[in-house]
Amino acid sequence: MAFMDESVWRGKIYSGGWVGGDLGTGRDAPVIEPATGQEIGRTGIATPADVARAAQIAAAVQPAWAATPHTERSAILRRAADLWLAHAADIEWWGIRESGKIPVAPVLRFSTADDAAKLAAESEYGLSLGILTRDVMRGLDLARRIPTGIVHINEQTVDDEPNIPFGGIGASGTGARFGGPANLEAFTETRWVTIRGDIAPYPF
């Protein structure tokens, strides 16, 4: 995140400051993005001893915190909320990647069809493309310039029929297609068969 230097907390836990897990020995574990299998960070591993130490620290400072005027305590919490809101996009993106979900679609302004094609083509995702237009042929031309596995022009973007190949490209898929001829090819073998209505006279 932009507001927090990753080198400070990577692979650590917070216990009176950023420290290595297991009482400072530095045990950590990878954070894996389910959608890609890539490591996107490392988190410290807290042991029961770490939890006990954190509880002791909390117990020691609680009286002073309780004696702090509510205006000062609320100011600290409001500051934390302001930071969260100011960097909500970074925090949201991390949550999305850790859970393996796709990002919430942003609204981007563009002036021309060329701008729209460039914006869409630069995305790492490519599952479904929806185009609303009064000129269907222009919509088809635009679709040719945006790489996706599925295109809907003036149509609903939620549909799944067993006879239609379904799949995306880039970070939206593995390049495979489910449904359509691919299913038949996976579970059948090609056999050459010729038939006529009667027995052919010999010689042919």
pLDDT of residue 125: 80
pLDDT band of residue 2 (cuts 50, 70, 90) is very low
Instruction: Quickly count: other Cβ atoms within 10 Å of residue 120's Cβ.
Output: 20
pLDDT of residue 24: 60
When pLDDT is averaged across residues 172-177 and rounded to a whole number, the result is 65
What span, in angstroms and rounded, lies between the C-alpha atoms of 100 and 31? 11
Domains along the sequence of the chain with CATH: 6-99 (3.40.605.10), 113-187 (3.40.309.10)
The answer to whether 129 touches 152, Cβ cutoff 8 Å, is yes
Task: Classify residue 204 as exposed, middle or buried by CB count within 10 Å of its CB (0-12, 13-18, 19+).
Answer: exposed
What span, in angstroms and rounded, lies between the C-alpha atoms of 145 and 162? 27
Question: In this predicted model, what pLDDT tens digit does every residue of 54-66 receive, in sequence order?
Answer: 889 889 999 999 9
The answer to whether 31 touches 98, Cβ cutoff 8 Å, is yes
Q: What is the pTM of this model?
A: 0.41
Min mean pLDDT across 43-52, 68-77, 94-103, 144-153 is at 94-103
pLDDT band of residue 151 (cuts 50, 70, 90) is confident
Contacts of 157 (CB under 8 A, 6+ apart): 128, 130, 150
The answer to whether 122 touches 168, Cβ cutoff 8 Å, is no
108: nearest Cα among 90, 122, 92: 122
What span, in angstroms and rounded, lies between the C-alpha atoms of 31 and 39? 6
Rounded to the nearest 10°, the torsion over CA 98, 101, 87, 85 is -120
What span, in angstroms and rounded, lies between the C-alpha atoms of 194 and 186? 23
Task: Classify residue 96 as exposed, middle or buried by CB count within 10 Å of its CB (0-12, 13-18, 19+).
Answer: middle
Structure tokens at 124: 């790492």
Residue 104 in this model has a pLDDT that exceeds 60: no
Question: In this predicted model, what pLDDT tens digit does every residue of 129-141 receive, in sequence order?
Answer: 888 888 888 889 9
